[in-house]
């Protein structure tokens, strides 16, 4: 008799919407989302990962930190959204980041919202008004390219 391993969750376009929300956040803040975090919550997740199923010697500290960050996101953590953003931009990013994939907008709706934002010069000036603070030293990009 054969036994089968459980299949991973099926990825849908709603995963792409979440990823687009991260990209949009990075574009609007002009900063990369980072996973190198010294907060107490991040350290607690890292301790949990280290004490669990990951071989630290094999995977290394950066892999542990990245996995801990992924678990935080899965548990609902999202980077803070700047106070100066227009409500339409906040709603769009938060909608893309909805914990439940079925609650995320379709990409067509995202495109329509972005097109409307681009036509509103007042909103664009509001997004441009504030420059982001300098990134803390030692933060590492969470993308897979860098």
Segment 100-127, tens digit of pLDDT? 999 999 999 999 999 998 888 888 788 7
Q: Place 144 in a pLDDT band, splitting at 50, 70 and 90.
A: very low
What is the pTM for the complete model shown?
0.70
**Looking at the domain assignment, is residue 4 inside a domain?**
no
Three-state SS at 141? strand
Cα dihedral angle (100, 114, 24, 20), rounded to 10 degrees?
50
Same domain? For 97 and 130 the reply is yes
For residues 73-98, give the mean pLDDT: 91
Of 24, 48, 78, which closes a domain?
A: 78
With pLDDT > 90 as the criterion, what percentage of the chain qualifies? 30
Q: Please tell me the predicted confidence (pLDDT) of residue 73.
A: 85
* Per-residue pLDDT at 95 exceeds 90: yes
Same domain? For 22 and 44 the reply is no
Q: What is the pLDDT of residues 19-36, one digit of tens each?
A: 999 999 998 888 888 765
* Per-residue pLDDT at 93 exceeds 70: yes
Same domain? For 69 and 103 the reply is no
Same domain? For 96 and 139 the reply is yes
Write the burial class of residue 70 (CB in 10 Å: 0-12 exposed, 13-18 middle, 19+ buried): middle
Same domain? For 134 and 146 the reply is yes
Same domain? For 39 and 71 the reply is yes
A 10 A CB-CB count for 40 gives 8
Higher pLDDT, 14 or 32: 14
**Looking at the domain assignment, is residue 2 inside a domain?**
no
Instruction: Give the residue numbers spanning the domain of 141.
Output: 10-33+87-146
Q: Please tell me the predicted confidence (pLDDT) of residue 114.
A: 92
Name the nearest CA neighbour of 109 among 12, 17, 15: 17
> Best-predicted range by mean pLDDT among 54-58, 122-126, 137-141?
122-126
């Amino acid at each position: 008799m054969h036994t089968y391993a459980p299949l991973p969750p099926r990825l849908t376009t709603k995963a792409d919407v979440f990823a687009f929300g991260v990209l949009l956040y990075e574009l609007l803040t002009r900063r990369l989302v980072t996973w190198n975090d010294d907060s107490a919550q991040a350290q607690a997740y890292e301790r949990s990962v280290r004490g669990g199923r990951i071989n630290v010697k094999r995977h290394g500290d950066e892999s542990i930190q990245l996995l801990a960050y992924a678990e935080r996101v899965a548990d609902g953590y999202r980077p803070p959204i700047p106070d100066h953003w227009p409500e339409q931009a906040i709603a769009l990013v938060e909608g893309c980041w909805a914990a439940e994939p079925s609650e995320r907008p379709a990409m067509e709706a995202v495109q329509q919202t972005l097109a409307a934002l681009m036509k509103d010069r007042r909103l664009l000036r509001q997004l441009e008004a504030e420059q982001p603070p300098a990134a803390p030293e030692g933060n590492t990009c969470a993308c897979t390219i860098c």
